[in-house]
Chain A
């Protein structure tokens, strides 16, 4: 039996497994192109047109539009590829953490410091 067969969810945690990888394939494929500077520039010129080029679903496009990281994860986004999208927006991992937890960036950073005490 695979460790993935355990049906009990881990709160606040997504498993990027086969189901999610299939669901998010186009979204992640788009984000993979952001390794390339030209692609980043093309995206910024017309975000929705760039999403259409990769066949993103309406839900995925809306989440891109709203900078909704949790929405993107639920739509099959993989955090490593999403990081290339949030990077274009100038967001680092503490910013992305704050967005997902609904905290201010300062509170999120304070929580990390507290974990070390």
Chain B
């Protein structure tokens, strides 16, 4: 049976991709952020996951507002990183895991999550930057990726509870998949940031640190925050916490925090990095 071995949270800010392209990870601005990753890379190297279920949001590459799914899942054999318009370098194609993807979709719809199922998906920085961070030099070729995309661009957006339960259902699917695969889950994006409006640049460190504490073993306590509360307390882009909650929902066993890093600012954002083991 497939096994869920752990979860990782990471920012997916485009500027990180640019810093990697420019090879400036060791400069004073970037070092405190990139220093959060070697322990996670070491863990990935030891645990050798076969599959990544990757929660992200699409910032206007694959989905326009003509059709905007709340939850969409990739079932493709391959995903293409494409031009986003403002210059971030693309990365080599990402390999999918069609069979497990469909198994997850079957389970989700059975569980009354009416997802959008995608046989083609261009993937943006939300998915590509985390892969670059975990596997430097784009050495992710051996990993199969299942993209789970959550709407964070247009209101109404789903609640933290809903995203957690989506993760729960994905866990059920993985654990009933009849192949010996090790699966790791990424919750990407966040934490507090606001890109638009006169309040642009708003960051809330105490709120971010509280979320990082709670998500380890008391994730349900975060259900009290509505999407509006997240906008108010974590900025207009604060609802990206939904991807972390989706990830956390997939961790079905005893969860242990092995590592964390938190740094302000990366671009306009409080960047939280965590490694959670699932036993």
Contacts and interface: CB of A to CB of B under 8 A. Distances in A.
Interface in A60-87: 69-70, 73, 78-84, 86-87
A50 interface: no
Given A10-B231, A70-B198, A94 B267 contact: yes
- Majority SS at the chain A contact face: helix
A21 B200 contact: no
B35 to A, nearest CB: 15
A115 B265 contact: yes
A84 B85 contact: yes
A82 B60 CA distance: 10
B-side interface size class = 35 or more
Contacts of B60: 31-32, 35, 78, 80-81, 83-84
A100 B196 contact: yes
B65 A112 contact: no
Most interface-central of A70, A78, A93, A108 (chain B CB within 10 A):
A93
A83 B87 CA distance: 11
Contacts of A49: none
B264 A115 contact: yes
Contact of B265 (A80, A81, A112): A112
B215 to A, nearest CB: 20
Most interface-central of A18, A78, A97 (chain B CB within 10 A):
A97
13 contacts: A11-B198, A12-B197, A13-B236, A35-B85, A78-B60, A79-B196, A79-B236, A83-B59, A87-B87, A88-B86, A97-B268, A100-B200, A112-B268
Nearest to A111: B201
A79 to B, nearest CB: 4
Contacts of A112: 201, 203, 264-265, 268
B227 to A, nearest CB: 5
Interface residues of A, number: 52
Contacts of B162: none
A-B pairs, top 4 by smallest CB distance, nearest first, are A87-B86, A116-B264, A12-B199, A12-B198
Interface in B217-272: 226-229, 231-232, 236, 263-265, 267-268, 270
Nearest to A40: B85
B10 interface: no
A15 interface: yes
Nearest to A34: B85
B153 interface: yes
Given A17-B156, A79-B236, A112-B265, 11 more contacts: A3-B229, A4-B228, A13-B232, A16-B155, A31-B60, A32-B65, A40-B85, A94-B267, A94-B268, A112-B201, A112-B268
Given A3-B226, A84-B86, A100-B196, A16 B205 contact: no
B232 A80 contact: no
Given A108-B201, A116-B263, A21 B65 contact: yes
A17 B197 CA distance: 15
